[in-house]
A = this chain, B = another copy of it.
Amino acid sequence: MRNTKEKILTATEQLIYKKGYTGTSINDILDETGTGKGQFYYYFGSKKEASLAVIDNHVKIWQKHLLNGILSRDESPLANLKEMLDWIYSDHAQKKIYYGCPVGNLVIELSALDEDFRKPLEQLFSDLQKKIAENLSALTGLLVKQNLPAAHAIIAQIQGSLLLLKVTQDLNALESNFDLLKTSFEKVGEK
């Protein structure tokens, strides 16, 4: 059986993803895990602490799979960037209800409310931006620094697409948007 702490963390993550931070209660989490209430406060000092751990978990996943994985491969930068979109897309494609981006959701719900939440989220986007810019540099020959705005725009496009997915519940629109992004990657590469 999996670790109790991990079980709680997983349940917290899923519930926050679906119902938001404020919409998720400790009891919701414990109903999901089947553990007693004391266990939650034994492993996490508070709801906020557990939620920060959820964010930390997202950071680690993105770092492992995206920053240090896909975007650090020795493949062509074009392939990397496209693969990034495919990785994100496949994460949503299998779902019946589209809840948007787990990280983007937290940004909107929490970053204006509490600096402790905002900071790690900002750092994650900042790291991703730099990594994308690196790939763009390999593609364009420009300095990483000069590609930062373009990388920012790419992240914005991804986040905006997932936001629209959440409100339209239309997966095709997400695919079409990512296809446009891929085309734009190719154009950048051609120059």
Chain A residues near B (Cβ < 8 Å) = 18-20, 22-23, 97-100, 104-105, 107-109, 111-113, 118, 121-122, 125-126, 149-150, 152-153, 155-161, 163-164, 166-168, 173, 176-177, 180-181
Contacts and interface: CB of A to CB of B under 8 A. Distances in A.
Contacts of A155: 160, 164
A111 B23 contact: no
A112 B97 contact: yes
Contacts of A166: 107-108, 111-112
Given A153-B157, A157-B156, A159-B159, A168 B125 contact: yes
A121 B164 CA distance: 10
Nearest to A98: B112
